[in-house]
Structure 1
Amino acid sequence: MTYTKPIKVLIVDDHQIVIDGIRSLLKTSHDIHIVGEALHGKEALDILATKEVDIIILDIEMPIMGGIEVTKIVKEKYPDTRVLILTMYDTLEFVQQATEIGADGYILKNKGAEELEQALQTLAKGDEYYGKEANKTLRTGVRKKKKGDQDKIQLTKREREVLQLIAEGNTTPQIAKKLFIAHSTVETHRRNLIEKTQVEHSTKGLIKYAIQNDYIK
């Protein structure tokens, strides 16, 4: 998915001051166009029914309808709309719920404009973006359900390197830079890893597989 026009964003948070803050953070970006705002999930769904939205920035805990329920509905009714969870919570319960229902990204509110914009750009390109804190929380939880070594699949040295970097929260451009390979080569390794491991949910599934099979400490 390649965007040649501004990314249409809907901001959903039950605090107007947070919405205003996000607007302020993104106002200098010519690649991002905020098409609406909502104070709860029901209002967000009403907007989605009338406007084209590329990415919805979504808080988790809100009145009337929270972010988890909204994400489920968005993924069912608007599969082309990507969901970025923006929250103060990095608890295992919330991060796991987000991954299981198909949220495309998860970052914390204590981060600045740089990570928010990076997450939006990453989602717009079709990738997933889970911040380092969310990745750490997920790794801690998955380790508790660790599989035996008998389930481990044979991977090449380069596939193991790519898998480890994915599990550490690196994006395709970051992996390409660290391994001195082309973006397309990273994507090829990613596809091969998904095919070999038979994981679901792409990046999130690969992260779980990497932790369960000791490819990341």
Structure 2
Amino acid sequence: MDKPIKVVIVDDHQVVLDGFIARLQTEPEIEVIGSACNGVEAIEVVKALNPDVVLMDVSMPLMNGIDATSVIKESMPDVKVLMLTMHDNREYIMKVMQVGAVGYMLKEICARRMVQAIKTVYQGSTYFCESVTQTLFSQEVVPVAQKPNPLSRREEAILKLVVEGNSSKKIASLLNISYRTVETHRQNIKHKLDLHSTGELAKYALEQGIVA
């Protein structure tokens, strides 16, 4: 990596905030460039510092992390937001995905996995810690009555791999097709579904039974 990944950490508990900063300060590939203690402050800090990745607490005063993420993604869509929380439940996870966050992990996550999560989302994939993945995908999802699925089988296969956190490069390798072909399929999927965030695509895939 030519330059460190610029990270902003948002949490309303100073002890937790200090702990996360201490975890990451020893990582040469990661640079913590700022912090905030609520959603309103988070928006200001992110706009001022333009980080690569934001570690965002969910429950905070003034503005929660979900609403703050929605505002950040509207004005700065390239910023990757990883949600940090104590809440391991489906409702929170689905809300997070809907506002455009690309990952969800519990605060108890070890330092090694936290670093892995930051690198994963920075490279364009999604990251959900193991317990969150189990919560998200192990429960039965009742398909929603809606329009017929407009995707081809190839597009469904690519959507499934995207939702599972694979990069376009990895998908190209797995399906033995070119990177450009994968990118074309991804754009076609978004156009057909009129969905633009990874979270929205994941929600659609769940509702349609493309991922189980």
Q: Which residue pairs with 1:73 in the alignment?
A: 71
Deviation of 1:12 (Å): 0.8
Please list every run of 5 or more consecutive structure 1 residues that lacks an aligned counterpart in the other structure. none
Matched with 1:102 is 100
Q: Once structures 1 and 2 are overlaid, which stretch shifts more, 57-66 or 44-53?
A: 44-53
**How many residue pairs get matched?**
212
The alpha-carbon distance between structure 1 residues 164 and 68, as it changes in their structure 2 partners (threshold 3 A), is closer
Q: Does structure 2 conserve the Cα–Cα contact (< 8 Å) formed by 1:59 and 1:85?
A: yes
Aligned partner (choices 194, 198, 203) of residue 198 of structure 2: 203
- Residues 52 and 192 from structure 1, CA distance in 2 versus in 1: closer, same or farther, beyond 3 angstroms? closer
Q: CA offsets, 1:66-100, max 9 Å, x none?
A: 21121122123333322111111122221121111
CA–CA distance in structure 2, aligned partners of residues 149 and 123 of structure 1: 31
TM-score between both structures, scaled by the size of structure 1: 0.76
Alignment of 1:10-29 (within 5 A): 10-29=8-27
Contact 1:37 1:44 in 2 (8 A): yes
- Report deviation, 1:192: 6.6
TM-score, normalised to structure 2, is 0.77
Counterpart in 2 of 1:194?
189
Structure 2 counterparts to residues 145-184 of structure 1, below 5 A? 145-147=143-145, 151=149, 153-156=151-154, 162-167=158-163, 169-172=164-167, 179=174, 184=179
Q: Give 1:57 deviation, angstroms.
A: 0.8
SS in 2 for 1:53: coil
What is the match of residue 60 of structure 2?
62
Kindly state the Cα deviation for residue 187 of structure 1 after the two structures are TM-superposed: 4.2
123-132 vs 90-99, greater mean Cα deviation: 123-132
> 1:108 & 1:209 partners in 2: Cα distance?
24
CA distance in 2, matches of 1:183, 1:115: 30
Question: Which amino acid counterpart does residue 207 of structure 2 have in structure 1?
Answer: Q
Structure 1 115/161 Cα, relative in aligned 2: closer, same or farther at 3 Å? farther
Alignment partner of 1:106: what SS? strand
Q: 1-side partners of 2:148 and 2:40: how far apart?
A: 46
AA aligned opposite 2:193: Q
Of all paired residues, the percent bearing the same amino acid is: 32
SS at match of 1:90: coil
Task: Compute the RMSD of aligned alpha carbons.
Answer: 3.4
1:8 aligns with 6
| Partner SS, residue 58 of structure 1 | strand
Q: Which moved more, 1:80-89 or 1:128-137?
A: 128-137
What is the distance in 2 between the residues matched to 1:186 and 1:27?
Answer: 39
Deviates more, 1:187-196 or 1:108-117: 187-196
Most deviating of 124-133 and 14-23: 124-133
CA distance in 1 between counterparts of 2:55 and 2:41 reads 13
